[in-house]
Structure 1
Amino acid sequence: MEEDPTFDPDLIHSIFKTVWTRMALERERNEAADAMDNEAGPANVTSKKNRPTSANANALKLSCELLRLFITEAVQRAAAIAEAEGMTKVEATHLERILPQLLLDF
């Protein structure tokens, strides 16, 4: 039995780390702005939001599979729209038309 091709877990992990880093920087900027608004300032307490974010191997595998399914469904829906219009090629406009409902379905 042949497995469906999927995304590389290391690639997905790198993407997640990039997003987590950006979110942490944005959170720090917001906290610094809030601290300037408050005279007392924030307490030096280790909170959950200050801990590094990570994902285990099973979570990465699941994320890869969900992403694969999402993209497969998007391509199939866009292809159906293109075929209904009598086209043999899927264009960006076809994807734009299916995305709102696809996002609601997922």
Structure 2
Amino acid sequence: MEDNNTFETDLIHAIFKLVWSRRALERQMLEGTDALDCEVGAGTSKKNRPTSANANALKLSCELLRNFVTEAVQRAATIAEAEGADKIEATHLERILPQLLLDF
């Protein structure tokens, strides 16, 4: 596995943290702030603990994303080539996306 051809773990970790924080805010909005204040031992609650990922999980996530993007580009290129197009357009990606998501 070549490290030069994969996503940076810091980038993927930052994306994960952004998603985790948004979901935490959504949960707070749905539950209301009073529900968290009334909870006994709120500091140790699973809901309030910061979410993290270990280094191996981040490396694996980077590799999975690299494989996913590579496969998407290859499939879209095949469709574009069959249509005689020189560039991959958004419509090519739209056509391959349903099966790609089922395969992954």
Q: TM-score range by the shorter chain?
A: 0.7 to 0.9
Q: With structure 2 as the length reference, what TM-score do the two structures score?
A: 0.86
CA shift, 1:86, in A, is: 1.2
Structure 2 equivalent of residue 85 of structure 1: 83
The 5 Å alignment of 1:8-87 reads 8-32=8-32, 35=35, 42-45=38-41, 46-87=44-85
Segments of 4+ moved more than 3 angstroms? none
Going by fraction, where is helix more abundant, 1 or 2? 2
Q: With structure 1 as the length reference, what TM-score do the two structures score?
A: 0.85
Q: Which runs of 5+ in 2 are unaligned?
A: none
Letter in 2 for 1:77: R
Q: Which runs of 5+ in 1 are unaligned?
A: 36-40
Paired residue secondary structure (2:75): helix
Identity %: 75
CA shift, 1:47, in A, is: 2.6
- Distance change (3 Å), C-alpha of 1:33 and 1:100: farther
Report the structure number with the largest CA radius of gyration. 1
Q: CA RMSD in A?
A: 1.9
